[in-house]
Structure 1
Amino acid sequence: MDTRTIMIFPKFENIHIIDNIRKKYDPLADLVLPHITLVFPFNSELTNEELNFHLEECLRGIPSFEIQLQGFSKQQDKYGNYLFLNVIKGMDEIINIHSILYKDKLEKFDLGYDYIPHMTVGKVSTKELLDKAFDDVSKCSDRFSTLVNKISIEMIGEHEESIIVIEYELK
């Protein structure tokens, strides 16, 4: 059974800034491109063809939309100490797509958490390191803007690497 996830891989002109932050603070920086997760990792018997059909059903009629990310936040939970780049435009569209995708075939994978769209740019081992990383990135006031016109399904490889298996074009 393959572990898969559904994401947006934004193409920012200034993405090198995000890449540099992730190289410092995100252990997955070399394994997966900067992304916004729509459906969190799940194990399923569904084939890629069935998942592609699910995307087509769910996203039919959803147009491309603009997003902007700026500013940082931090979160500590049972999964770790995270550093997030905040979504400041396109939040409603992302939340809507997240909700739609968790219907029907993927409903059983919805853990019921409040969903706040973001891009993870760091995961560190302690609260102290998180506070330090947050202080560091808070100096960055860059804004990251792009048009989202593609939703991707990735398979997570045995070494945590990202393997894109499906790309759905928003109309």
Structure 2
Amino acid sequence: MKYGIALFPSKKLQDIVNSYRKRYDPHYALIPPHLTLKNAFESSDDKIKEISSHLREIASSVNPFTLQVLKVSSFSPVNNVIYLKVDSTTELTELHTRFHQEPFDTSTAEYSFVPHITIGQKLSDDEHSDVLGQLKMESFTHKEEIDRFHLLYQLENGSWTVYETFRLGKGQS
């Protein structure tokens, strides 16, 4: 089965992001707005129990943190993805790093870690240029506290759902 690890922003930020995603992101119906901490990986039922236990340990050792959206940006020319740039905190970097060590798949990621929340993807060059130019004129500053991350799994229809939630900080689970 395919799994992934992500955090979900507040409903307020999700509503703002979804107002664009429904037009510019073909994955809109498959998963709510999120920040990916570990891309999709395959795991067996037995292995995922070990991974869940490890995730609890990681969660208890990382404190809640402030997620801060800085601006709209793009991965162009590598690909036509438009996203909200998220400030790279120590906690976000630590989570990402630890999710790429044993017992997780430790193969090198295709791209370096850029904390972000996708607004649009798979856009034509012209549409990408148009939408990015329009969004760069708007202000997208936002701050909120993040106190949990989620282990997700993919359903047969391609959508993602929460398998387990992990609260950050000592004494949490």
Q: TM-score, normalised by structure 1?
A: 0.88
Deviation track 1:16-48 (CA, whole Å, cap 9, x = no partner) reads 221101111111112211100000111122543
- Residue 152 of structure 1 aligns to a residue whose secondary structure is strand
- Whether the 8 Å contact between 1:91 and 1:117 is mirrored in structure 2 is no
- Whether the 8 Å contact between 1:12 and 1:146 is mirrored in structure 2 is no
- Extract unaligned runs of 5+ from structure 1: none
Query: Match of 2:117, as an amino acid?
Result: M
Q: Which runs of 4+ in 1 moved over 6 A?
A: none
Query: Aligned-residue CA RMSD in angstroms?
Result: 1.9
| Correspondence 1:152 to 2:150 | yes
Look up the match of 1:121: 119
Query: Match of 1:170, as an amino acid?
Result: L
Look up the match of 2:97: 99
Sequence identity percentage: 21
Query: Match of 1:131, as an amino acid?
Result: S
- Residue 108 of structure 1 aligns to a residue whose secondary structure is coil
- Extract unaligned runs of 5+ from structure 2: none
| Correspondence 1:70 to 2:64 | no
Distance 1:112 1:24, change over 3 A: closer
In the TM superposition, what is the alpha-carbon distance from 1:164 to its structure 2 partner? Answer: 0.6
In the TM superposition, what is the alpha-carbon distance from 1:109 to its structure 2 partner? Answer: 4.1
Given candidates 164, 167, 173, the residue that maps to 1:169 is 167
Look up the match of 1:52: 52
Once residues 129 and 169 of structure 1 are traced to their aligned partners in structure 2, the CA distance between those partners, rounded to angstroms, is 39
- Whether the 8 Å contact between 1:21 and 1:137 is mirrored in structure 2 is no
Deviates further, 155-164 or 41-50? 41-50
